[in-house]
């Protein structure tokens, strides 16, 4: 058994998992010691400027320092730091990477989208059980990018698209009144752009083959909490939840139509996600509708969608086994 620590540094949040990893004839099993998330918005403005904002770097480094203390206290023997979309795009990422290296004493990795997708798939399917019919499409909606990964016991096709909740918010909703929902004209422009990105993605990932659609990461888990009517965030209820298409649509409409302060007051909404959840919800809605339509064209039926609490963070930990 190995005690490992994985850090997933994305566009909106930075997360830590310290776990004991055990490998046996049934595969890899993680026993969590701690899971942490801090919303630091590292990718703030990167889509427009191509650079990290100094204040965003400072916020993220503060979280890394905090995580290093937890890792040391729990005695992890292996540590892996994976940075994704925003770090791929920022021209001054070396400044950030150098700071992380000096704190953790390891070499941080800025991974390409294909590796990000593979890690997400590995984590997502690690604990879904035998009920998930293959091929599965795992969708990881992040702040700066979205990964679509088709596979069974392993990845068959994958793509990372520069389309995430923060990126869409900054492109289309930056001037929206937070005291109201997203205006229809803004929604329509965002949807048109999202659909264009998905047109390209489906040239790489064959959506017609999908039998089970699995959503992971903060946008999807937050929407699932809303769909389930939870008062607080309860991962044991969210993980493995099977939602109808109507439940998903109602949760999406709520996040798009309600003012920011209403969403911020939800007991399951992490501070710092309330202003980008509408964009993430639209991305998820368009993906679900497209996958369902392609299945129908092939004479099969997808009438529910599965949520997994496990994602790239679990994949990072598993990779250290």
pLDDT tens digits along 114-161 = 788 888 888 888 777 656 788 999 999 988 889 999 998 788 999 989
Helix (H/G/I), strand (E/B), else coil: 205: coil
DSSP per-residue codes, 140-185: EE-SS-EEEEEESSSEEEEEEES--HHHHIIIIITTS-TTS---HH
- Predicted local distance difference test score (pLDDT) of residue 250: 97
pLDDT per 10-residue tile (average), the chain, 321 residues: 90 91 74 91 85 92 96 95 84 92 94 83 75 86 90 87 92 90 94 96 93 92 96 92 95 96 94 92 96 89 90 88 77
CB 309 within 8 A of CB 217: no
Cα 241 from Cα 266, distance rounded (Å): 19
- Predicted local distance difference test score (pLDDT) of residue 23: 74
Smallest Cα–Cα separation from 110: which of 133, 89, 125? 89
Q: Which CATH architecture has domain 2-111?
A: 2-Layer Sandwich (3.30)
Cα 27 from Cα 189, distance rounded (Å): 45
CB 144 within 8 A of CB 19: no
Instruction: Please count the residues of the chain.
Output: 321
Q: Is the fold of 2-111 the same as that of 128-311?
A: yes
The residue with tokens 């998820």 is: 284
Q: How many CB atoms lie within 10 A of CB 2?
A: 14
Smallest Cα–Cα separation from 148: which of 223, 83, 209, 88? 209
Please list the residues that pair with 16 across neighbouring strands.
7, 36
Smallest Cα–Cα separation from 170: which of 49, 16, 79? 49
Q: How many CB atoms lie within 10 A of CB 200?
A: 11
Q: Answer left, alpha or beta for residue 298, where phi above 0 means left and psi between -120 and 50 means alpha.
A: alpha
Backbone angles phi, psi at 163, to 5 degrees: -150, 105
Return the C-alpha torsion angle 82, 141, 145, 176, nearest 10: -130
Cα 88 from Cα 253, distance rounded (Å): 32
The residue with tokens 């890792």 is: 71
Domain ranges of the chain: 2-111, 128-311
Q: What is the largest CA-CA distance in the chain?
A: 55
- Predicted local distance difference test score (pLDDT) of residue 130: 57
Cα 77 from Cα 313, distance rounded (Å): 17
CATH number of 128-311: 3.30.420.150
Token digits for 57? Answer: 């770097």
How much is the pTM?
Answer: 0.82
Alpha helices in the chain (DSSP H): 46-49, 54-74, 85-89, 93-104, 113-124, 165-168, 184-201, 218-227, 235-238, 245-257, 260-264, 277-297, 312-319
- Predicted local distance difference test score (pLDDT) of residue 111: 85
- Predicted local distance difference test score (pLDDT) of residue 154: 81
> 237 to each of 85, 169, 233, how far by Cα in Å?
29, 29, 9
Return the C-alpha torsion angle 80, 316, 238, 234, nearest 10: -20
């Amino acid at each position: 058994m190995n005690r490992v620590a994985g850090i997933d540094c994305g566009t909106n949040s930075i997360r830590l998992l310290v776990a004991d990893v055990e490998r046996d004839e049934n595969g890899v099993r993680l026993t969590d010691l701690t899971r942490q998330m801090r919303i630091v918005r590292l990718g703030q403005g990167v889509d427009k400027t191509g650079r990290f904002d100094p204040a965003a770097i400072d916020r993220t480094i503060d979280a890394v320092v905090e995580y290093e203390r937890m890792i040391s206290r729990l005695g992890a023997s292996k540590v892996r730091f994976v940075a994704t979309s925003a770090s791929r795009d920022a021209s001054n990422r070396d400044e950030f990477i150098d700071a992380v290296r000096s704190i953790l004493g390891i070499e941080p990795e800025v991974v390409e989208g294909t590796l990000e997708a593979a890690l997400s798939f590995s984590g997502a399917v690690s604990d879904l059980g035998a009920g998930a019919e293959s091929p599965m499409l795992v969708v990881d909606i992040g702040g700066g990018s979205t990964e679509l990964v088709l596979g069974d016991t392993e990845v068959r096709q994958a793509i990372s698209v520069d389309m995430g909740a923060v990126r869409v918010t900054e492109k289309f909703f930056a001037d929206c009144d937070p005291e109201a929902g997203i205006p229809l004209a803004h929604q329509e422009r965002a949807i048109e752009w999202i659909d264009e990105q998905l047109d390209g993605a489906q040239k790489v990932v064959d959506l017609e083959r999908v039998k089970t659609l699995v959503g992971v990461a903060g946008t999807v888990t937050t929407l699932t909490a809303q769909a389930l009517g939870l008062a607080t965030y309860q991962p044991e209820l969210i993980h493995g939840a099977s939602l109808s298409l109507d439940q998903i649509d109602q949760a999406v409409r709520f996040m798009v139509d309600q003012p920011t302060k209403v969403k911020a007051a939800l007991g399951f909404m992490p501070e710092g996600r309330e202003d980008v959840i509408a964009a993430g919800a639209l991305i998820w809605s368009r993906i679900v509708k497209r996958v369902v339509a392609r299945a129908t064209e092939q004479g099969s039926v997808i009438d529910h969608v599965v949520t997994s609490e496990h994602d790239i963070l679990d994949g990072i930990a598993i990779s250290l086994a």
